Structures are given as structure tokens and as C-alpha cells.
Amino acid sequence: MKTIKGPALFLAQFAGDDAPFNSWDTITKWAADCGYKGVQVPSWDARLFDLAQAATSKDYCDTFKGQAAENGVEVTELSTHLQGQLVAVHPAYDAAFDGFADPSVHGDPKARQAWAVEQVKMAITASANLGIKNHVSFSGALAWPYIYPWPQRPAGLVETAFDELAARWRPILDHADAHDVNICYEIHPGEDLHDGVTFEMFLDRVDNHPRCNMLYDPSHYVLQCLDYLDNIDIYKDRIKMFHVKDAEFNPTGRQGVYSGYQPWVDRAGRFRSLGDGQVDFAAIFAKMAANDFDGWAVVEWECCLKHPEDGAREGAQFVKDHIIRVTERAFDDFADGGTDDVMNRKILGIGA
């Protein structure tokens, strides 16, 4: 068994234009002061990170890591959630997702997709330059508008969507393999990979690619009423990253999973700061330890009620309290009587 590393913090929800959240130096100092040992980096945020330079300059990466280390934290992973989303976009979402891309490709879905693919590849190269083995992204989605089977879906629609999704990601996965980096898809509503079944549909189409892996985030499973503990055992060999995020699901006679288009604070299912929701993290951390997960426990703070800085500080302590320092010996070793093959056969009554 292995002891999970952490706590770490995903910086995407905290980066901003005001100090200490507007520079790499100050935000890493702040994270360390909150009690974090690592930080996960949003690769699209130029206030913190120069993706193009990181993909081409080992010296830049060494300096970037060094400054973080001086401030008391380690760089755990890079994220391309926004760029990965743009690898596959249904036309219904073109306008909504244009803002994720460089202005030079706005209004041009084909150019935007090519830009997104190059961005993810650069982040994989940058991960290798930083000495990081795992990278997180979204899969994007072509079939998501058809998640509910009404009107009846045309035969082959979903299969065609997943064939295309796999074709777009296969060269990126091969690029990751060449750089010894795993792509960990965050299984997330709004993505074609939003539960275990859809992950398997994709995995089959990329021929069980060794670099096709998963980021585990129980909050997204609570909101889908999916068994998030069983999920760990099913996909333990593919789970390479872990977002520690809480959620609650409180259905009423008026709303359930879909929540009636309500804002986050009024939804039946909503994200909460760690410890304020319904996720059984004691059971999750126990399963992670038993399954030899050796990655980072990364807090992703999202809450519709609590102030983010309070959530961050509380989250660091919450993860510290849940990480299990695994044992190196069995608890009943004191009663070991010592045996050998002769004794074992004698105990079983099967002779010499």
C-alpha cells in the first residue's frame, strides 16, 4: 500500500487580478501558507504560467518549479480543462465555448479545434519538461446534447460521435505516450466522458490506450446518483489523479437531478466546501490507500455558499486529516507463530 501525497490545491478557481492571486510567486506563497504541499496549475492562465515557453524551454520549467519549491509547494500536475473541452465541440455550444480559445480563432470552429489540439500537446510536452507523469483534461463533447433519448436518437448517432471523439484524441494520446505522460480525463457532466460507461466506450475505441486514464472526482458522481465508492474499485487501474471535492444531492417534490435550470445555490445537486457536503471521504481515502493510489489528493474548491479563501484553508486541513499513513506491517504480527511448509501440511492434515 502507498500513502497518498497531499494536500494540494487546484489554482484555477483562485487565480485573479488581485494580489496574492495574480502571480506565480505570490499565489504559491499563499497556498503554502494555507497548508498545501502542492499545486495543480491551470495551463491557460498567463498570469501564472507561460505554456508555450514551458513546452520549449527546460530552463523555464526548472525556474518555474524552483520558485514553487522555494515558496514551499510542489507542482503536481498541469491542467488543460478549457483547451481539452475545445477538442470536440457540438455546434450548439460554439458561441458559449469560443471564450475558452485565443481570440484569433473565435468564430472558426475548425481553427479553434486545431488550436486546442496543439495546446494540449504543448501541455503534455511541458509536463515532461517539468518531470510530471500525469496530466488532466476534459474530453470535449459531440453527443452531449443528446444525453436524454428524446426525441429518439437516430441509429448510430452516439457511435459516430464516439468514433470521431476517439479519432481526435488518438494522436494526442500517442503524443502523450511518446513523452511518458498519462492523460487523465476528468469524468464530468457536459463531457462525452461523464461516467464509467462512456469512459469505457471511449477506451474501447482507442484500443485500451495505456495513456487513456481517469481523474476521480466523487462530487460529479454524487450529482448523478452514481456509486462513487464502487467506481474506485472498478477503475482503480485507470485512476491516476484525484480531485477532492464535496457535493450534496437533496431532491424535492419540485426538482431532482436536472434541477430545473436553477442557479447553483437553488439546485438539488450542488457543490460544497470540503466537509459541508455528503461525500464519504473516510471511505474514499481508505479505498485509495488499499488500491495503492500513489498520486496527489488535490482540493478543487467549488462551493455556492462559502468564501473561497475560507474553503481553501479548511480544505488543506481536511485533506491532512483524511490522508492515511499506510502501515508497513500487519496489526497481528505480534502473534505470528512462524510456519514452514512442513507445518502447513501438518496443520491441514495432508501428510509429508
Q: ∠ CA 76-25-301 to the nearest 5 degrees?
A: 50
Q: CATH number of the domain that 45 lies in?
A: 3.20.20.150
Residue 327 pLDDT: 78
More confident residue, 328 or 24: 24
134-137 and 246-249 beta bridge pairing: unpaired
Q: Percent of the chain, pLDDT > 70?
A: 98
Phi and psi dihedrals of 164, rounded to 5? -70, -40
Nine cell digits for residue 64: 518555474
Measure the N-to-C terminal CA separation of the chain; round to a whole number of Å.
36
Q: What average pLDDT does range 208-229 have in this prediction?
A: 98
Residues 6+ apart with CB under 8 A from 207: none
In 10 A of CB 120, how many CB atoms? 23
Residue 335 has pLDDT above 70, yes or no: no
Side-chain-side CA neighbours of residue 296 (13 Å): 27
- Tens of pLDDT, residues 164-211: 999 999 999 999 999 999 999 999 999 999 999 999 999 999 999 999
Cα separation, 178 vs 125, whole angstroms:
9
Would the pTM of this model clear 0.85, i.e. be above it? yes
Cα separation, 320 vs 63, whole angstroms:
28
Cα separation, 352 vs 349, whole angstroms:
9
Residue 352 pLDDT: 61
**Number of domains within the chain:** 1
Residue 338 pLDDT: 72
Cα separation, 250 vs 175, whole angstroms:
43
Residue 346 pLDDT: 83
Closest CA to 75 of 298, 239, 251, 306: 298
Q: How far is CA 156 from the centre of its chain?
A: 30
Q: Is 208 left (phi over 0), alpha (psi -120 to 50) or beta?
A: left
Buried b (16+ CB within 10 A) or exposed e, 47-67: ebbebebbbeeeebbeebbee
Reported as a pLDDT band with limits 50, 70 and 90, residue 20 is very high
- Tens of pLDDT, residues 97-141: 999 999 999 999 999 999 999 999 999 999 999 999 999 999 999
Q: ∠ CA 36-275-320 to the nearest 5 degrees?
A: 30
Q: Pseudo-torsion of CA 125, 127, 128, 131, nearest 10°?
A: 160
Residue 333 pLDDT: 66
Residue 334 pLDDT: 61
Parent domain of 194: 5-348
- Tens of pLDDT, residues 37-94: 999 999 999 999 999 999 999 999 999 999 999 999 999 999 999 999 999 999 999 9
Cα separation, 123 vs 83, whole angstroms:
10
H or E segment to which residue 157 belongs: helix 157-178
